[in-house]
A and B are shown apart, each in its own frame.
Chain A
């Protein structure tokens, strides 16, 4: 995967062609707030619950958690995820959490 180096605030990060962070270790909580602001989201405790679950789940699972996985394991109803991250919650959560875009099959 080709990555591009970009600056977000004072931070320099590597992202793919769609803007998703490619280096798990480059993410910080401060960066999450800046990434969220870029897509019009102000992070609340509820957002953080989902983001922290995604961050904790990724290293052991090796994939970005799906909405259903977040809902089942973190106890956040899917409907609420649509309220927190309107439109495309799976992609938006991954973007803010600094994880790869959720996979499709084809």
Chain B
């Protein structure tokens, strides 16, 4: 009996476990998923919580895993790649033949001096965590005006468009409450602009201008002076706030560092086409846990998992892995007022305008605000629980397609 151990029962870990359970013979393979808690959180739903979204975002991990998959609750202390074992913090040891690291990335407010403290979840907020999103809802309800700063500590972050989505949504929220004139909105980023790819920048940057949202670029925060309600950068610029919505530094799990498996942010270095660890061939890292140079997003977990599953079957049969992940990602970008954009891109191709996924038929529009995109984002919740996580077939190819896309200079406007 060969043993496959998957660390993490989030989006990537659940998809891979379910897909492999259908493809690997039950009598030959034991598949074990280990996670530190019982509940799977629908993370895209967190974005709407500060504005009143009330849907239940959680389900039991056990219910999302196919029969025949062993599920263990446990905190990983360290992996020993030489002994091929996982030590849990309660002292238990789980041995493996093949290991998949799918422990994601997490907000680390402790990494920025001044962020955690008395003002955390009072005047300093996040929205990538369940508790944080609900605390921010309370704060927005009680917000009476002033400077609202949306801030990103550093890249990479989980769902890189989410801070922009939050900014658009909070602007619409303030307008809806007739208090937009009483609020100065500032978007603070360590990048050299709110959008870094030139074509997306041209299409989307206008939205920020239209909404009178100021952008403070190249701002790498060194510390937060919570008493003075001020962000201080490494080059000693200061930005004051009345309400701060920050995206803390994102890091991989601590056990990755303790095991010597990670880079400076605890992400596992992998081959960007096969997701195989560059240091240990029997270890793969999927989803947000690896150092792929693409978005840390559920769509990447989805598309790369499709590639990984095919490659893994080849690898365990002792033949060369022939499938190559191209960095494919797509993301809905909520823009407020019941509209949204969609972007679709990969390692080599920046987000382009056009239609998705069926060429001229769409029905989604790329880089253009439409109500269909907004409804697509909302409909994705059902797809996530009922098709994506169970590992069922979805009509979205893992490799990015140029069908329906065009470069702006080729565009013909009516």
Contacts and interface: CB of A to CB of B under 8 A. Distances in A.
Given A63-B293, A87-B235, 6 more contacts: A69-B264, A79-B234, A87-B218, A88-B218, A91-B192, A106-B161
Given A63-B293, A67-B220, A82-B235, A88 B155 contact: no
Contacts of B37: none
Contact of A105 (B235, B272, B295): B295
Q: How large is the interface on A (under 10, 10 to 19, 20 to 34, 35 or more residues)?
A: 20 to 34
Contacts of A106: 160-161, 195-197, 200, 295, 331, 343, 351
Interface in A71-106: 72-73, 78-79, 81-82, 86-88, 91, 103-106
Interface of A: 61-63, 66-69, 72-73, 78-79, 81-82, 86-88, 91, 103-106
Contacts of B154: 66, 68
B234 A104 contact: no
Q: How large is the interface on B (under 10, 10 to 19, 20 to 34, 35 or more residues)?
A: 20 to 34
Given A67-B220, A87-B235, A88-B218, A104 B293 contact: no
Interface in B36-72: none
B265 interface: yes
24 contacts: A61-B269, A62-B272, A66-B154, A66-B155, A67-B220, A69-B263, A69-B264, A78-B222, A78-B234, A82-B234, A82-B235, A86-B235, A87-B218, A87-B235, A88-B218, A103-B196, A104-B191, A104-B192, A104-B196, A105-B161, A105-B196, A106-B160, A106-B196, A106-B197
Interface string B190-229: 0110011100100000000000000000101010000000
Contacts, number: 55
B222 A105 contact: no
Contacts of A104: 155, 191-192, 195-197
Contacts of B294: 105
B156 interface: yes
Contacts of B192: 88, 91, 104
Q: Which 5 A-B pairs have the closest CB atoms?
A: A104-B196, A105-B160, A72-B264, A82-B235, A82-B234
Interface string B149-166: 000001111001100000
A61 B294 CA distance: 14
Contacts of B196: 103-106
A89 B400 CA distance: 33
A67 B218 CA distance: 12
A106 B344 CA distance: 10
Interface of B: 154-157, 160-161, 191-192, 195-197, 200, 218, 220, 222, 234-235, 263-265, 269, 272, 293-295, 331, 343, 351
Contacts of A103: 196, 293
B391 to A, nearest CB: 27
A85 to B, nearest CB: 10
A102 to B, nearest CB: 9
A17 to B, nearest CB: 9
Contacts of B197: 104, 106
Contacts of A63: 293
Contacts of A88: 192, 218
Contacts of B218: 87-88
A106 B195 CA distance: 6
Contacts of B263: 69
Contact of B264 (A73, A81, A87): A73
Nearest to B345: A106
Contact of A68 (B222, B265, B269, B351): B265
A88 B154 CA distance: 14
Nearest to A78: B234
B331 to A, nearest CB: 8
A65 to B, nearest CB: 9
